[in-house]
Structure formats: C-alpha cells, structure tokens
Amino acid sequence: MGSRTIRRPLVLALALSLLPTLASAEDLLQTYELARQGDPQLSAAQANRLATKEDRIQARAALLPSLSGSVSLNRSRSTSQGGSGSDDGSDLPAGAMFKSESTNRRSGLTASQMLYNRASIKTYQGQNVLSEASDFTLESANQELITRTSAAYFDVLVKLENLAAAEAAETALQKQFDYASKRLEVGLAPITDVHEARAQYDSARAGTITARNQVEDAYQALSQITGQPVRTLKALPADFKPALPESRDVESWVDNAVQNNPALHAQELQVRASEIGVETARAGHWPTLSLTGGYSDSATWGDRTFMGATRDAPGNSSYGPSIGVELSIPIFAGGRIQSGVRQALARRDAAQDELERQKRQLVRTTRNAYQTLVAGISEVEARRLALVSAQAAYDASQVGLEVGTRTVLDVLNNQRTLLQAQQAYATAKYNYLQNRLLLEQAAGSLDVGDVQEINRLLTADAATNLAPPPSGMQ
C-alpha cells in the first residue's frame, strides 16, 4: 500500500508540471491545476499529513538515547553573633561576629537509554500505522479535489446554458407579447392573449435575472476552489454522445472500491492503530528498564571572617562518571491504567464500527454511481430527443399561430416546455460527466488521467456558444 501511495502523487505531479501556468483556465484540466495549487482544503490535508509524520518522529525519539547537560553556580553568605552566655549553645564569645561566604559550581552530563518500555514501543508502532493512514487520507483528499473542482466547473456550464435558454425565452416571449398587442390593436386577438403574453414575458424577465445571479454564484464557487477567477471555460459540443468508460459490471466496480478506495484504507489503518492503542494501554502494567549514566564535576570554595580577621575556608571538589540501571515496577496507580485500557477498548470498537459503516456506505455509493451512470446515458439521449421534439412543437405552434390554427396560449405553453427541455438536457449532460468521475472516485482509481479523458470531450467554447458571464465577473 505504501508504494502505491507514493507512486500516484509522483505521477500526478509529473503530469501537471507539464501544464503551462495561466492567469485563468480554459479547460477542466487547467482549472484542476489551479485548484491543486490554490485550494485551502487540500492544503490543510497536506499540513495534517505532515503533522502526523512528526508524531511518528516524536514517538521514535522515546526509543533513542537522550543526552542532557547542566551547569550551576551558587553563592551563599551567612553571619553569626555570639550571645552573653552559653544558654544558646553558641561557642562564640559574647558580641563576637562570624561571617562566611562560599561559592559552589557544578556541571555535568546525563545520558539515558530505554532498554525496555513496552508502552513506548507500542506507541511508536501505532504512530507508524497512523503515518501510513495519513498517506491514504491525503490521496483521498486529492481525489475529492478532482470531483469538487469538476462539480463546480460543470455547474458553471449548466448555469450558462440555463442563462442562454432563459435569454432566448425572454426574447421569444417579448416577440409574442408584441405580436399579441398588434393583433389586439387591429381586432384580431382578445385582450386575454395580451395579458397572458405579458405575464409570460414578465416571468421570463425575472427568470433571466435569476439565471444571471446563478451564473455569477457558480463562477464564485469555482473561484473559491481555485483561489482566482476562472473566466473562460470549455464546454461539450452539440454532437456529444455519452458512453460507458469501461465494459465492467457493477460487481467489479464494487470489488475495486472495497480493495482500492483510499478513504476506506485510511479507516482500516485507524482500526489497526486503535488495536495497538489497546496494547499500549495494557503496557502500563509492565515494568520499564532504563540504562542511565553521566559525568559530574563540582567544586566549593569561600572565606571566613572572625573578629575582623579574614581567612580562606578549606575548599573541596569532586568529579567522575556514573552508570546504572533503573527498573521501575508499577504497583498501584489509583485505577488509572485499568481505566485507560477500557477507554482504548471503547475507541477500538468505535473505529471498527466506523469502518463497517464506511464500507457499507462505499458499496452503496459505488452501486448507485454505476447505476446512475448507466441510466445517465439513456437519460442524455432521452433529454436530447425531448429537446428536439419541444423545438419542433414550438416551431409548429408559431406557424399555426400565423395561419390561425393555434392560439397565443399554445405558443406560450410550448415556449415554456422548450425552456424546461433545454435546461434538463444541459443538466443531464454534465451530470453524466460528473457521475463518471464519482464512480472512479468510489473505486479508488480516480486520478489526473480521468480528468484528461473528460477534458478531451470539452471542445466547445462556452463563452462563444453560450451566454457570456456577467459583467461583474470580467
């Protein structure tokens, strides 16, 4: 698992390093590169991984030798005065003063090496497992970045197509309103046709305003991920035909998900770490053995003053090495160790339950993603045919209105149906692309190659073929 974790980021970095650095992206792949560099959520995941790696280093330090040094310098003064008799036990003459000053210097080195400490050993083993889990967590964050970026990117394209459809509907309904007004003036249409056309036109104007706001919000959502404005997007061409990415059945996708999903692997390692945590807690009952040694050097000197006469006090010094073995045996800790064991067992059980929950959720998510993708192929084609039919019905009603076989209400209803068909077709197309990426993510195989594959399908210029972004986004 470790080699697989390392290999993928290297391949990803190599592939993305070949891309030019642009102020604004033009396609999905370049947008993803901007997101990889500027997304704070991915940056936080990378920082958390580094922090976990440091926990491993700190746990290893408890198994290695330690060396410390110390230096101290102390100076003390004392004054004594004799009493009028010997009741106080003083041997000084009455009124006599005795002063002394002394200086003490001490320096040393202390070294220790843990010979046996089961708790420290298990802690280090647990941190090794958590360090490996952090690699899978980061891989999962990288895959999630792809789907978050693509979802925001496709949402902009959907909102642009919705805006284009809304603007076209507004223009068409304005013409219907003008047409009904002129027919009313010459007595060829009732006032109700004018009111109905005006109501539909006003509603279309409101819909266009809403669509513009949605486009602006979609651009902002994409910029939130990339960290900078993304102005020019590539969209699907008009002749787009969806297809399954691979001829695998749903069970194959589920098996791959259970075996390769990085988030599931990370949780499996969390379970393993919690099991080691139980052993660490139980190790509190075990004795510890340490080897200690050191070298110290100390000296003391000073002077004494008695009845005005000062003389040096005898000094002393000592130095030399020391070595020993320290055995510590826990006897009673007030129930703390037993409580720690129970706590570790509860955390292990919680981690196991979370693993089972994630596994069941992953199986369900993978099955649903596959079924949604398969159904999405048929849905895209059905929505396309529905759009063709809605356009034909609208055109026919326009002709029928001119020759007197259709009413204004018929045209308005067909215009509404056409608008809904255009919006549904746009949503179905980009949902299909997103579901392809979500299926690969569930299977644990999502990488930059999948982004490149989707990106090759985006050949149309969204800014040219669709409605332009709001002026505030320029």
pLDDT band for 34, please (50, 70, 90 cuts).
Answer: very high
The predicted pLDDT at position 212 comes to: 94
- Continuous segment of H or E residues that includes residue 31: helix 28-38
Q: Let me know: does 195 contact 180? Beta carbons within 8 Å.
A: no
Q: What is the pTM of this model?
A: 0.82
Of 17-21, 76-80, 408-412, which has the strongest mean pLDDT? 408-412
Strand segments (E) across 161-244 = 234-235
10 Å Cβ neighbour count for 399? 11
Q: Which residue has the higher pLDDT, 57 or 462?
A: 57
Q: Which residue has the higher pLDDT, 173 or 134?
A: 134
List, for residues 374-405, the tens digit of each pLDDT value: 999 999 999 999 999 999 998 998 888 888 78
Averaged pLDDT score across all residues of the chain: 86
Cα separation, 21 vs 448, whole angstroms: 17
Cα separation, 268 vs 271, whole angstroms: 5
Cα separation, 115 vs 199, whole angstroms: 87
Chain centroid to CA 68: 40
The predicted pLDDT at position 81 comes to: 66
Q: Is residue 94 scored above 50 in pLDDT?
A: yes
The predicted pLDDT at position 302 comes to: 73
The predicted pLDDT at position 233 comes to: 93
Q: Is 287 exposed, middle or buried (0-12, 13-18, 19+ CB in 10 A)?
A: exposed
List, for residues 202-235, the tens digit of each pLDDT value: 999 999 999 999 999 999 999 999 999 987 899 9
Q: Is residue 7 scored above 60 in pLDDT?
A: no
The predicted pLDDT at position 6 comes to: 37
pLDDT band for 465, please (50, 70, 90 cuts).
Answer: very low
The predicted pLDDT at position 252 comes to: 93
Arithmetic mean of pLDDT, 198-202: 90
pLDDT band for 314, please (50, 70, 90 cuts).
Answer: low
Arithmetic mean of pLDDT, 433-439: 96
Residues 6+ apart with CB under 8 A from 389: 421
Q: Of all residues in the chain, what percent are helix, strand and coil, respectively (each to 5)?
A: 65, 15, 20
Q: Is residue 16 scored above 70 in pLDDT?
A: no
Arithmetic mean of pLDDT, 174-201: 84
- Dihedral, CA atoms, 366, 370, 372, 373, nearest 10 degrees? 130
Q: Is residue 470 scored above 90 in pLDDT?
A: no
Q: Is residue 461 scored above 80 in pLDDT?
A: yes
Cα separation, 285 vs 473, whole angstroms: 65
Token pair recorded at residue 233: 């997007």
Fill in the amino acid letter for 430: Y
The predicted pLDDT at position 306 comes to: 59
Fill in the amino acid letter for 68: S
The predicted pLDDT at position 5 comes to: 41
Q: Which fold has domain 2-64+117-285+334-473?
A: Outer membrane efflux proteins (OEP) (1.20.1600)
Token pair recorded at residue 435: 């579901």
The predicted pLDDT at position 77 comes to: 81
Residues 6+ apart with CB under 8 A from 144: 441
Arithmetic mean of pLDDT, 7-15: 42
Chain centroid to CA 214: 26
List, for residues 330-350, the tens digit of each pLDDT value: 999 899 999 999 999 999 999
Q: Let me know: does 363 contact 254? Beta carbons within 8 Å.
A: yes
10 Å Cβ neighbour count for 275? 18
Sign of torsion over alpha carbons 11, 14, 16, 19: negative
Sign of torsion over alpha carbons 160, 166, 169, 175: negative
Q: Let me know: does 322 contact 294? Beta carbons within 8 Å.
A: yes
Cα separation, 126 vs 134, whole angstroms: 12
- Spell out a b/e string for 150-173, using b for 16 or more CB atoms within 10 Å of the CB, else e: bbbbbbbbbbbbbbbbbbbbbebb
The predicted pLDDT at position 312 comes to: 58
State what percent of residues in the chain have pLDDT above 90.
Answer: 63
List, for residues 114-160, the tens digit of each pLDDT value: 999 999 999 999 999 999 999 999 999 999 999 999 999 999 999 99
The predicted pLDDT at position 313 comes to: 59
Q: Is residue 444 scored above 70 in pLDDT?
A: yes
List, for residues 270-312, the tens digit of each pLDDT value: 999 999 999 999 999 999 999 999 999 888 887 666 555 555 5
Q: Is residue 75 scored above 60 in pLDDT?
A: yes
Q: Is residue 471 scored above 70 in pLDDT?
A: no
pLDDT band for 93, please (50, 70, 90 cuts).
Answer: low
The predicted pLDDT at position 84 comes to: 44
pLDDT band for 23, please (50, 70, 90 cuts).
Answer: very low
Q: Which residue has the higher pLDDT, 100 or 321?
A: 321
Q: Which residue has the higher pLDDT, 99 or 51?
A: 51
Q: For the residues of 87-115, what is the DSSP string, one character each?
A: TT---SPTT-EEEEEEEEEEEEEEEEEEE
- Per the listing, tokens 């922090």 go with 51
Q: Is 137 exposed, middle or buried (0-12, 13-18, 19+ CB in 10 A)?
A: buried
